[in-house]
Amino acid sequence: MNVLTGLNTVKFWPGPAQEVDLAAAVPVPEGWSITSGGAPGPTLDVSMLVEIVERVAPWLDAAYLVPKLTSDRPWGGMHSAALKSIYVTYNARSQAVMLETLYHELFHAVQRRLSDDLKQRIEDHTYACARRYDDEKYLDTPLEQCARLFETFAMYLENGGVVITSRYESSWLPSFLTHVYSGGFAREVLELDRREAAAAVKAERRAAMWSRAKTFLPNFLREGI
């Protein structure tokens, strides 16, 4: 199997040109399927995509580049919290659309790691500037509005846009989105994960020591343990 990989947690399958059985090789949530399609375009820069995933959401287990993704209809991309994976189709109209989709799905991954307070603050700020589609069940949900805002914002920066931030409250959202785009938020998440893992190891060690210590306790102390 020919797997293009830039780091051990991110995997990209460039499609049938590699003779990979995508349906078998790429895990998808129930109700979703990956079907084969044309080969990725010659302009596709996989290393750039890998760099973006590593920068924005490096805690993901995998990011897949697939020809076609369907559930009830064809989709350009998807984020699965259960599989800690994102999927982006390379059948998008252009590399720019694909890039936009990648940023969109990455933001869904980011949303899973936000504190409730932060999530609410982003939604409140987004509501003021988001475009409405008259689709309360999907497109107009806060999750989708925020992901679309981030994708637009990220593409603005990709194209050389500059964000001028100031002390004013109205600049909080662009500042935070820049923080996500530049990888600052990702570093915080990794640090949190590292600390939690270390604390878990410590707790396990303490429990093991305690269970050993218990065997040496006098009976009157052992009661109730």
Q: Considering beta carbons, is residue 100 or 144 the nearer one to Zn ion?
A: 144
Cβ of 140: how many Cβ atoms within 10 Å?
14
In angstroms, give the least distance from the CB of 75 to Zn ion.
9
Q: Considering beta carbons, is residue 10 or 147 the nearer one to Zn ion?
A: 147
Cβ of 103: how many Cβ atoms within 10 Å?
25
**Residue nearest Zn ion by beta-carbon distance:** 147
Q: Considering beta carbons, is residue 110 or 147 the nearer one to Zn ion?
A: 147
DSSP state of 141: S
In angstroms, give the least distance from the CB of 52 to Zn ion.
17
Contact 101, 154 (CB under 8 A): no
In angstroms, give the least distance from the CB of 65 to Zn ion.
17
Give the chain's largest Cα–Cα span: 76
Contact 55, 183 (CB under 8 A): yes
In angstroms, give the least distance from the CB of 117 to Zn ion.
22
In angstroms, give the least distance from the CB of 72 to Zn ion.
15
Q: Considering beta carbons, is residue 147 or 154 the nearer one to Zn ion?
A: 147
Q: Which residues bind Zn ion (CB under 5 A)?
A: 144, 147
In this structure, the strands spanning 10-12 and 62-66 are unpaired
Question: Rounded distance, CA 93 to CA 178, Å?
Answer: 26
Cβ of 173: how many Cβ atoms within 10 Å?
21
Question: Rounded distance, CA 87 to CA 49, Å?
Answer: 12
Contact 69, 37 (CB under 8 A): no
Q: Considering beta carbons, is residue 58 or 142 the nearer one to Zn ion?
A: 142
Give the helix/strand (H/E) hosting 121: helix 116-127
In angstroms, give the least distance from the CB of 60 to Zn ion.
15
